[in-house]
Amino acid sequence: AGEVTAAQLETWLRRSADVLAAHAEELTALDSAIGDADHGTNMARGFAAVVAKLDAAPADESPTLQALLKSVGMTLISKVGGASGSLYGTLFLDMGKAAPAANEVDADGFASIVAAGVAGIVGRGHAELGDKTMIDALDPAVAALQDAAASGAAPAAAAAGAAEAAAAGRDATEPLVARKGRASYLGERSAGHIDPGAASSALLLQTLADTLAD
């Protein structure tokens, strides 16, 4: 019931750029507690570059899901330094590889695309659930998307459930000791802070849910 279109994903990406810019200070504050205080600027810069590329594309040719997602992945990899650039870049590149050269997919197809992207992050960064990374938000979000799609939910409802699962996963990172990335250098001192990448992932999923609900 219902499709996710390339135009909707483009709207999601544009809104995400605004949301990440609005939350950049907050994400950077999280990263200053357990990292190097650049996650907000990294994400805002990356998504601003994504929007610049969308704006530069010819208005009369709408890209396929595959082309759109791959292009976002390449932009993030080339424009964002640090762990999150290559990890979020891989998310979108691998979503693009799993996406059809078409303008829309159903809820089930969309869940599979997101699952492939998150599998790409795990393949690159080797984080497991509970390592206090973006995976703690993304993995439960994928499960929620897949469950909702399997029970016949529309994409908007599936995304709403995924956003809720991601927020819960983000909150659950707070007491954890980081086992991957820069925060892991702090050992036990990383406990007591929300992981910045889990926070940015939860923002992306909330923005997706908001976009598909419109």
- The residues of the shown chain that bind ligand ADP, judged by CB under 6 A, are 31, 35-36, 38-39, 42, 82-84, 87, 121, 125, 127, 133-135, 180-182, 195-198
User: Tokens in use for 212?
Assistant: 């598909």
Judge contact between 111 and 88, C-beta under 8 A. no
Cα torsion through 209, 168, 22, 133, rounded to 10: -110
Q: Whole-number minimum distance, CB 151 to ligand ADP, in Å?
A: 29
195 binds Mg ion, rule: CB under 5 A: no
Residue in 10, 31, 131, 195 binding Mg ion, rule: CB under 5 A: 31
Which is nearer to ligand ADP, 87 or 204 (by Cβ)?
A: 87
The overall longest dimension of the chain from CA atoms, in Å, is 53
User: Tokens in use for 87?
Assistant: 């990890």
Distance CA 106, CA 96 (A): 15
Which is nearer to ligand ADP, 87 or 157 (by Cβ)?
A: 87
Contacts to Mg ion from residues 74-133, by CB under 5 A: 82
Site residues for Mg ion per CB under 5 A: 31, 35-36, 38-39, 82
